[in-house]
Structure 1
Amino acid sequence: NVYVTDQNTRVQKFDSSGNFVLQFGVNGDVPGGFVTPWKVTTDSAGNVYVTDFFTNRVSKFSSGGVFQSTFGGLGTGNGQFQSGTAGVAVDSTGHIYVADPGNHRVQKFTSAGVFVSALGAPPGGSGNGQFSGPVGLAVDSSDNLYVADTGNNRIQKFDSAGTYLTQWGSSGNSNGQFTGQQGVSVDSSGQVYVADSGNNRIQIFSSTGAFLEACGSAGSADGQFSFPSDVATNAAATSYYVVERDGERVQKFGTAASPVANAGADQSVECAGATTSVTLDGTASTAGTGTINSYSWSEGANSLGTGATLAVPLPSGSHTITLTVTDTGGGSDTDDVVINIVDTTAPVINVTGANPMTVECHTSFTDPGAMATDACAGSLTVNTSGTVDPNTPGTYTIHYTASDGFNSASATRTVNVVDTTPPSISCPADIVVTLPPNSTATSMVVSYPAVSATDSCSSSVTVASSPASGSVFPMGTTTVNATATDAAHLTSTCSFHVTVLYNFAGFFQPVANPPTFNVVQAGRAIPVKFSLSGNMGLGIFAPNSPASGPVACSSNDPASNLEDTVTAGNSSLSYDPGADQYIYVWKTDPAWAGTCRQLVVQLNDGSIHHANFRFR
């Protein structure tokens, strides 16, 4: 039902369709009477409360219009009013709030009309909780009180204990501004309706004062207003009613359902570079009375674009993005979605070059390094630790690390410093020694210079020679083999010869030594004498020795007549211990007359001795 105060000193009651039901009230400042009825409200029991501008009183009636009680009166004390009793509202506990515009306050009473408390005080003001000629009042389902602070062109909100909560509005005709607003109402969903009387419109707000929409303009046509002085909503919040002081009528409106914005679920998206493409999706938003005609996306003050879906590039970090939707019914709504661009993937380190890497000992080493990349941060700096000593064989490890600020990665390179080069070895020159004089020895101790060896990677190189220096060497030539071994067990070899010779001093007379040619009668036997400084036995000749062969005769070569010959017989060898001489009797051939020959005596020590002969 709809109750309307009428300057004809009555209250009229209509059904929700505007059909007259009844009226009550009489003319005059009497119980149940009115002089200038102003505001009206009902409580949960259906009782009706009417304020009177002239009498400064509040009268209570049953829903059928039967007078029950009255309270108030002119004055500034508690329970008294100046410039009329204005807006009236009843909370869920039955407490009655009455606007006292002349005293710039709102008074609270029990259901029996007993004063409880007051908000504000004369002479009024513009601070929080102060008023300037408050007129309209409304109480929501949580018993919060809304006051149309008319002189300050604002709405103030208080809790049931009278504690100031918030305010909104200022003087003007823009959305959220007022000019002498006279009425306020709250529906069951918490939306606040304000009769913006001087601007001839109704404005609708959220319970916190966020502007939602406005309707109406000056005029007498449907939906227009001529000083709308109050507004009321039905219990279902599906309709609201506006009374016009100067238009002498009540208009009924259906409440336009606002759209509901849905920006989608919060997202965590893996970073894909300096910016990451993210698709914003508002298709789950629902329309209100009309159809959605606008989707706009923003981050803070920055507009990102429009559309039910929108792909946007976002840098790393957390982003709170707001979707604002509007519909053709004039409603709008917002919703936030949090997009977290996260980096949970570690960088990738690529080791440049061979891994493991082999380095020859005692060469230079340069680390080829490594490269690090990250899907989010791009190329990264690689930190390197570890050293390699290219002069010392072994296994070394180089460590590489990189971080993208959130995750880190590591890699290693194995460097094997190896020794594949054998040591360098040097043998002494061949050695020739003679047996000691006046001795029958056929071997002797020989000491030779040390074999030297070096290695670029090893400080310890061992050398083994065989036979060793200081060994007993037999007569003749012996090969000494030397082996050098480094720490890597690499070897090098060399060899040299040690030759032990008889103590041969040349041929004795009658045979002259080269280059002299000994002139002798062919067919004669020639005693070839020599000494080995001791009796070495008769097996001193090498096999097939002595032997002779032709040589060219030269007139320039010196010659010596050899007279000491013997009668030709078989060649023979003997030793004369008294003279310490060997005597080899060489049988010559008469056919050699007129030729030159060379006698070659090879001893079993390997030495070769010559004597030249010219035969006549």
Structure 2
Amino acid sequence: MIGYFAACAELSLQKDLPMTPPSDHSLSRRRFCFLAGTLAFAPAFLSKGFAASLLENKASTLPYQLKLQQMLEPKLTPTRAVGFDSKKRLIAGGGSMVKIFDAQNALLQEIPVPGTVSTLTIGPDDSIYVGLENRVLCLDTAGKKKTEWGTSGKEPGQFVFITSLAIMGSFIFAADSGNRRVSRFTVDGDFVDDISGFQVPSAYFDCAVDTQGVLYVAHTGNHRIEQYDANRKRVSSWGEFGTAPEKFCGCCNPIHFSILPDGKFVTTEKGIVRLKVYDASGKLLAHLGSEAFKDCSPENASAYLEGPCQGAGMDVAADRDGRIALATQDGKTIRFYTLEPNKG
């Protein structure tokens, strides 16, 4: 619960912080003192057990539940990105390695890459597009390099820190937390245009394309999911700041999301570690709170506060049957969930 209050307190402090990649994140004296004060007084207001009870009661009234089915240790350092291809094979990336697992989670292939994996996505032909912080590497189905492109900088078409990739037909969208924009390229790397104006207080900034070819972006600083049309105009959004289970707390959530084949959204959050499912309008359908992930949380308070921006985060993906893969916040395991009706 201490982490809960600290995460919520971050909002007013991180809105104006400069964005840095995960390895460069550090606490300012002002932020440290503010969070320390929050930590000191939080127990007086709300106990951990009481908060957990409230969240469990909320989850029991929702129409669906997330059921843990399997766990996998991919042995990546750490697991930063996950995705599925058309054969329901899991692709996981972290450090300077991409690994492919079959539908039964047996390791099929290890692919070294020339850089640090920051994100990945899978094309309709099962090509693997890997974000290497400030460039994009495309691998074929055999793991061989097809193309590589991208340069570091702030000019149009350049990158500071790629946090997400999404394919839409013959285009690829790249979310860049450093430049606070989503850029569109051809799949061969030719720059087309971008969407800017996002508030991105930390190194988490996700985007995804649904089965209908519609682009969605997690506007983390505004605590919402936004939909964009082909002209780069925002046409709808849902989500709001707050501590209730259906809302997004902290400075900048949701940090990752994925879209299920039927249009539902799976989201993850840092600070207060949560895995949730919403319908297309933003109605909460299922919820797993911090208690479900306490076995993979850093052990001390300072590591807990800094960890979400230094660790792997909680990337999430879904296969064509709706099986959900979640990279835990410690970067050590991948958990697999199914979404099932809540029978009370």
Give the alignment's TM-score, normalised by structure 2.
0.64
1:85 aligns with 2:85: no
Question: For residue 231 of structure 1, what is the amino acid of its counterpart?
Answer: V
Distance in 2 (CA, whole Å) between partners of 1:206 and 1:160 is 22
Aligned to 1:489: none
SS at the partner of 1:37?
A: coil
Aligned to 2:40: none
Match of 1:117 among 156, 180, 193: 193
Aligned to 2:11: none
Cα deviation, residue 16, structure 1: 2.5
On the 8 A contact 2:257/2:268 being kept in 1, the answer is yes
Aligned to 1:45: 125
Question: For residue 195 of structure 2, what is the amino acid of its counterpart?
Answer: L
Aligned to 1:146: 216
1:192 aligns with 2:265: yes
1:69 aligns with 2:182: no
Aligned to 1:265: none
Distance in 2 (CA, whole Å) between partners of 1:244 and 1:290 is 24
Question: For residue 260 of structure 2, what is the amino acid of its counterpart?
Answer: D
Aligned to 1:20: 107
Distance in 1 (CA, whole Å) between partners of 2:271 and 2:337 is 20
Cα deviation, residue 220, structure 1: 4.8
After superposition, the Cα gap between the structure-2 partners of 1:160 and 1:192, relative to the gap in structure 1 and judged at 3 Å, is farther
After superposition, the Cα gap between the structure-2 partners of 1:75 and 1:132, relative to the gap in structure 1 and judged at 3 Å, is same
On the 8 A contact 2:209/2:215 being kept in 1, the answer is yes
Cα deviation, residue 161, structure 1: 3.2
After superposition, the Cα gap between the structure-2 partners of 1:159 and 1:206, relative to the gap in structure 1 and judged at 3 Å, is farther
Distance in 2 (CA, whole Å) between partners of 1:220 and 1:191 is 22
On the 8 A contact 1:199/1:218 being kept in 2, the answer is no
- Higher Cα Rg, which structure: 1
Paired residue total: 239
Distance in 2 (CA, whole Å) between partners of 1:41 and 1:101 is 17
1:176 aligns with 2:246: yes
Question: For residue 246 of structure 1, what is the amino acid of its counterpart?
Answer: D
On the 8 A contact 1:145/1:158 being kept in 2, the answer is yes
Deviations 1:125-175 (A, max 9, x none): 4xxxxx656611111012111212223332212123322122222333322
Deviations 1:273-311 (A, max 9, x none): xxxxxxxxxxxxxxxx343xxxxxxxxxxxxxxxxxxxx
On the 8 A contact 2:171/2:185 being kept in 1, the answer is yes
Aligned to 2:86: none
Aligned to 1:98: 174
Distance in 2 (CA, whole Å) between partners of 1:138 and 1:155 is 10
After superposition, the Cα gap between the structure-2 partners of 1:196 and 1:19, relative to the gap in structure 1 and judged at 3 Å, is same
Distance in 1 (CA, whole Å) between partners of 2:218 and 2:334 is 20
On the 8 A contact 1:153/1:169 being kept in 2, the answer is yes
On the 8 A contact 2:121/2:129 being kept in 1, the answer is yes
SS at the partner of 2:320?
A: coil
Match of 1:236 among 292, 311, 321: 321
* Displaced runs of 4 or more, over 6 A: none
Aligned to 1:478: none
Question: For residue 75 of structure 1, what is the amino acid of its counterpart?
Answer: G
Distance in 2 (CA, whole Å) between partners of 1:231 and 1:173 is 22
Aligned to 2:276: 203
Distance in 1 (CA, whole Å) between partners of 2:111 and 2:291 is 31
After superposition, the Cα gap between the structure-2 partners of 1:77 and 1:183, relative to the gap in structure 1 and judged at 3 Å, is same
1:296-307, aligned counterparts within 5 Å?
none
On the 8 A contact 2:273/2:293 being kept in 1, the answer is no
Q: Over aligned residues, Cα RMSD in angstroms?
A: 2.2
Deviations 1:544-592 (A, max 9, x none): xxxxxxxxxxxxxxxxxxxxxxxxxxxxxxxxxxxxxxxxxxxxxxxxx
On the 8 A contact 2:131/2:164 being kept in 1, the answer is yes
Distance in 2 (CA, whole Å) between partners of 1:187 and 1:225 is 27
Aligned to 1:128: none
Aligned to 1:368: none
On the 8 A contact 2:297/2:329 being kept in 1, the answer is no
1:274-423, aligned counterparts within 5 Å?
289-291=341-343, 328=344
SS at the partner of 1:117?
A: strand
After superposition, the Cα gap between the structure-2 partners of 1:187 and 1:207, relative to the gap in structure 1 and judged at 3 Å, is same
SS at the partner of 1:69?
A: strand
Question: For residue 15 of structure 1, what is the amino acid of its counterpart?
Answer: D
After superposition, the Cα gap between the structure-2 partners of 1:218 and 1:172, relative to the gap in structure 1 and judged at 3 Å, is farther
Cα deviation, residue 14, structure 1: 1.1
1:136 aligns with 2:206: yes
Deviations 1:69-115 (A, max 9, x none): 11222111121012x11111112x13101001111110011111111
After superposition, the Cα gap between the structure-2 partners of 1:120 and 1:160, relative to the gap in structure 1 and judged at 3 Å, is same
Give the alignment's TM-score, normalised by structure 1.
0.37
Distance in 1 (CA, whole Å) between partners of 2:196 and 2:236 is 15
Question: For residue 14 of structure 1, what is the amino acid of its counterpart?
Answer: F
Cα deviation, residue 232, structure 1: 0.3
On the 8 A contact 1:132/1:151 being kept in 2, the answer is yes
Distance in 2 (CA, whole Å) between partners of 1:11 and 1:190 is 28
* Gapped regions of structure 1 (runs ≥ 5): 27-32, 126-130, 257-288, 292-327, 329-616
After superposition, the Cα gap between the structure-2 partners of 1:141 and 1:97, relative to the gap in structure 1 and judged at 3 Å, is same
Q: Which has the higher helix share?
A: 2
On the 8 A contact 1:43/1:94 being kept in 2, the answer is no
Distance in 2 (CA, whole Å) between partners of 1:161 and 1:132 is 26
SS at the partner of 1:151?
A: helix
Aligned to 2:336: 252
After superposition, the Cα gap between the structure-2 partners of 1:200 and 1:191, relative to the gap in structure 1 and judged at 3 Å, is same
On the 8 A contact 1:225/1:247 being kept in 2, the answer is no
Distance in 2 (CA, whole Å) between partners of 1:73 and 1:173 is 39
On the 8 A contact 1:3/1:14 being kept in 2, the answer is yes
* Gapped regions of structure 2 (runs ≥ 5): 1-88, 299-307
On the 8 A contact 2:130/2:136 being kept in 1, the answer is yes
